[in-house]
Amino acid sequence: RGDWHDLLQELSAEIDMTSDQARKVSLALLRGTVYRDQLEDYPKAVACFESVLAEPTGRVPGLMALERLYPRIGDFDKLAATYRAIADVTTDRQAKLAALRELTRVMETHGVGSRERLQATYEELLELVPGDLFSLERLEDLARTGNDPVLAERVYLQLAEVTDEPPLRAHYLTLLATAMEAQQNFRAIDIYRRAIEEDQEQLAAVRGLARLAEGLGDAGALADASRLEAEQTSDPTIAAKLYVRSASLRIGTDLDGGLSDLRHALGLHPEVESAANQLATALTEANRLGELIADLSGAARACKSNSRAAELWLQVATIQADLGRHASGITSLQRGLSARADHVPSL
């Protein structure tokens, strides 16, 4: 060790004597190497390498050496500053990319720097590698934890653009629309539609579409959303009510579409009275009573509730009587009484 100390003194003396700046840098780098590799005196090695950073010939080798030394002395603020400096001075794209990735790692792992600085660094990475999934996912986390809907919009749009999987793209589009909706940006309704086009099973998008459509008074969109949600709902009672809502919104402009919704509702849950009533009104006004008799008879046969079955058979019998089909009407009444013998209106 004495020999190394003697060498350090000689190097220090030569630094003081020489006027050649490049020579001074070279000697200081050598002193730092001795402290680091031979004496393992890291603080003094750091001081040597830091002393050359202001010189053009010493900046890059000094930064490279300090990158290895700062973790050893636990100075992560300076390590982050070193990666920032390396990214700024290097002209090599891959080296710049590596430095920025290390910078974000140090910032996140050791809590160095502000949230704004971290966000800016990830955005700088995206300029180098557009669509970089890791950077986008980290920005997504920053947007979520920082409650930043503006950043969230930007990130979710990019995530939707870079993924090739329709369900995942639909997921990101739904998140984008939700962020837009939170900002009172009603163009979100179009984004919800895009998400549903990618994946009709994206229930959050369907419900978002319904929510916005109702708020905006868009009956067509609300009807579409109601049907889509009904198709995904496992509870037949809820699904039937959703079909009824869809029918009530579109039956005035799309009779057959509305009738289809009502028939779906009765098929799922024949006891839903509103479906039968709307069907009766629409088909009676359209003078399609034969269809109405068939629809109500089918619902009556499928009913699990004897009381509701008797009511439907009575409704069928009344229509048949109005048409002069008295024998058929009597048969329907008998079926109603078979379902419930004490059904007073049928008696």
| Tens of pLDDT, residues 127-138 | 999 999 999 999
| pLDDT for the residue numbered 276 | 94
Tokens encoding 326: 């008295």
* Residue 243 pLDDT exceeds 80: yes
Helices 21-33 and 42-50 meet at what angle, rounded to 10? 160
**Hey, what are 218's tokens?**
């868009």
Please report which helix (H) or strand (E) contains residue 281, including its range: helix 273-285
pTM for this structure? 0.73
292 closest CA partner among 322, 269, 248: 322
Q: Which residue has the tokens 């009510």?
A: 241
In this prediction, residue 347 carries a pLDDT of 54
Q: Report whether 213 contacts 225 (CB < 8 A).
A: yes
**Single-letter amino acid, residue 190:** D
pLDDT band at 205 (very low <50, low <70, confident <90, very high): very high
Q: Is 199 left (phi over 0), alpha (psi -120 to 50) or beta?
A: beta
**What is d(CA 202, CA 5) in angstroms, rounded to the nearest whole number?**
71
Name the residue type at position 196: I
Q: pLDDT value at position 6?
A: 84
pLDDT (tens digit, 9 = 90+) per residue, 160-202? 999 989 999 999 999 999 999 988 899 999 999 999 999 999 9
- Measured CA to CA, the distance from residue 148 to residue 144 in angstroms comes to 7
Report the C-alpha gap between 342 and 338 in whole angstroms. 9
Task: Report percent pLDDT > 90 for the chain.
Answer: 84
Distance of alpha carbon 326 from alpha carbon 64, whole angstroms = 100
Going by pLDDT thresholds of 50, 70 and 90, the confidence category of residue 62 is very high
**Quick one: pLDDT band at residue 285, thresholds 50, 70, 90?**
very high
